[in-house]
């Protein structure tokens, strides 16, 4: 699931009502992954991204590592990301 925020800021993700493990990548306004966190089902811990977060992408747990995607990777299709951002406004 892709979360598109209306402006860059510090946002968090949690798993209170989620029954499967997920990973979340926080993506900055310039399209770079700044943090990836693995989250456990039912946890009420809040996992926060850095101050410049504009997007958060949740996947099944371990997907980023399995696909060799880590912090510092640039999301290349920013036109698509910009489209999703315009839909959130």
How far is it, in rounded angstroms, from Cα 42 to Cα 26?
20
pTM of the model: 0.85
- The pLDDT value recorded for residue 24 is 96
Residue-wise pLDDT tens digits, 24-83: 999 998 899 999 999 999 999 999 999 999 999 999 999 999 989 999 999 877 666 666
- The pLDDT value recorded for residue 79 is 61
Rounded mean pLDDT of 12-23?
93
User: What are the angstrom distances between the C-alpha of 24 and each of 32, 33, 60, 89?
Assistant: 14, 10, 9, 22
For tokens 């946002």, the residue is: 11
* Homologous superfamily of 2-88: Protein of unknown function DUF192 (2.60.120.1140)
For residue 23, which of 34, 10, 13, 8 has the smallest C-alpha distance? 13
Tell me the domain boundaries of the chain.
Answer: 2-88
| Ramachandran class of 42: left when φ > 0, alpha when ψ lies in -120 to 50, beta otherwise | left
Rounded mean pLDDT of 10-33?
93
């Amino acid at each position: 699931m892709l979360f598109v925020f209306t402006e860059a800021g510090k946002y968090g993700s949690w798993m209170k009502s989620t029954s499967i493990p997920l990973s979340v990548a926080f993506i900055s306004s310039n399209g770079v992954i700044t943090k990836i966190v693995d989250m456990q089902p039912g946890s009420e811990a809040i996992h926060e991204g850095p101050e410049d977060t504009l997007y958060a992408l949740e996947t099944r747990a371990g997907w980023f590592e399995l696909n060799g995607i880590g912090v510092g990777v640039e999301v290349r299709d920013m036109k698509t990301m910009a489209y999703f951002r315009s839909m959130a406004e």
